[in-house]
Amino acid sequence: MTGVEVGTVFEDFVLPDETGTQRPLSELLADGPVVLFFYPAALSRGCTAEACHFRDLAAEFAAVGARPVGISGDSVERQQEFAGRHTLGFPLLSDVDGSVRDRFGVRRGFSVTPTKRVTFVIDQDRKVVEVVRSELRMSVHADRALAALRARKS
């Protein structure tokens, strides 16, 4: 799928988290919206800044009933190291074969890091309510996702 925009509805998918536990999207959405942020590489400088900003806003996301979920092509072990080193406190999904990345249309061309930095705010009905695209401004992902969730609550 390409060109995912607001209003797109996604079929369920299942990926392992940083502990190796299989996590269906439907389960992640059980308690509220999910902010699914795709990032190029665990433990890289930019991705660490982005993930830590999501972590630092955890109380604000909880206040609007949502939670961040990171996703990259990194292995379960690498995701576990990333989550532990920075005490992230939210699931990091391992999409090693890139199948979910492809469904969301965030594949980069030939590159060392084949995943684009894109964030999707997904409501409990699996409908996309916000899309944030920015490769260089790391904090804009969490900030804009939170703003979209707050706007929906008011």
Q: Active-site positions?
A: 47
Report the phi/psi class of residue 63: left, alpha or beta, with left for phi > 0 and alpha for psi in -120 to 50. Answer: alpha
What is the rounded distance in angstroms from the CA atom of residue 28 to the CA atom of residue 66?
Answer: 10
Q: Residue 95: name the closest of 18, 150, 27, 154 by CA.
A: 18
Quote the tokens at residue 122: 């997904």
What is the rounded distance in angstroms from the CA atom of residue 47 to the CA atom of residue 100?
Answer: 19
Q: At 88, is the secondary structure helix, strand, or coil?
A: coil
